[in-house]
Amino acid sequence: MRLEKDAKIYVAGHHGLVGSAIWNNLKQRGYGNLVGRTHRELDLTDQLAVRRFFDEQQPDAVVLAAAFVGGIMANSLYRADFIMMNMKIQCNVISEAYAHGVKKLLFLGSTCIYPKDAPQPMKEECLLTSPLEYTNEEYAIAKIAGLKMCESYNLQYGTNYIAVMPTNLYGPNDNFHLENSHVMPAMMRKIYLAKLIHEQDWQTIVADLNQRPVEGIDGRASRAEVLSVLAKYGIEDNRVTLWGTGTPLREFLWSEDMADASVHVLLNVDFSDIIGIEKYSSVHYGATTTGAVDRNHSAGRGGAIPSLGEIRNCHINVGTGKELTIRQLSELVAGAVGFDGQVVFDASKPDGTMRKLIDVTKLHSLGWTHKVEIEDGVKRLFEWYKGNIES
């Protein structure tokens, strides 16, 4: 299904790492009728607010990039929030997209959906074959529910909702807050702050903390208070302590590459392409002249549609198919920052999943491959981070 250049596209989470990159990619491709709302303007966990938004805007397509996210520490501390917030966001946006006759929906998930001990590289088919990694179980379950919602709406109602599962992302607008950020931006900020402490560059430290306070400590705090709170996160004079052993393997994808893959799928891939059945899309629930969907229309109902057999694992892995250890990543980050101090690993802290490499065969078959390699991407991320510390 083709989206014309004047199609109204709602990007949920358009200020985030992924959403902002998708927004920019759509703009670059000539799609100017974009709609975005900040969390303050629209709380996606509020069902009535989401319904009012869809009533007013009537988007043609939706990119669901909004999520409640964080790293190992945040996942451990806020387990209830991770499952509840994400489930609310997904249920509200997907159900209202259907109720308002949205033509195309793209759901952004995560490769944490796969079992802890899944065979490597992980194919889409290994979903739900064994237990999940405990440290991010709640977030993974929420994302599995989201992709299953898309799959199930397609099978029951003939919709065109596609779920993509990106690997670990990094890039412009990344989250550098130490309390809830992912591994690369957290590591980068820690190493940079340790370097600044060693160089006694308190002007930049103050600017950094004013922009991203740590446990409420900002640039107005005393040096003793600053050093004390940073030490809790393993940041000292020319020395950084990172969680785990440094041996887990991780795959990373530049966020602007992820955006390009997402927009490629949004514009060029239909559900029928993924399941390999050309005529599947002939069974659709059309919108009425008022924009509401006729829920009494019975054609095409019946779950998995017996004549098609079992249809599952319709999501698409998005990544590079390449990996490196956390220790190797720390060396790349230290090199980009110009840090010649000590990086140590605290093996008493959890590593998380030991390996998370995805199989990207399906993505390649749909016509997309990545462009930015990790060595160049780490340098780009540091330049962005350093250039966005407001003095």
DSSP characters for 54-121? Answer: HHHH--SEEEE-------HHHHHH-HHHHHHHHHHHHHHHHHHHHHTT-SEEEEE--GGGS-TT--SS
Question: Looking at the chain, how many residues does it have?
Answer: 391
Q: Rounded to whole angstroms, how far apart are CA atoms 298 and 157?
A: 9
Catalytic site positions: 139
Decide if 174 contacts 256 (C-beta within 8 A).
Answer: no
Amino acid type, 168:
N
Strand 239-243 to 235-236 pairing: antiparallel
Instruction: List strand residue ranges (DSSP E) for 261-334, in order.
Output: 316-318, 324-325
Tokens read off for 73: 């520490």
Tokens read off for 136: 């991010």
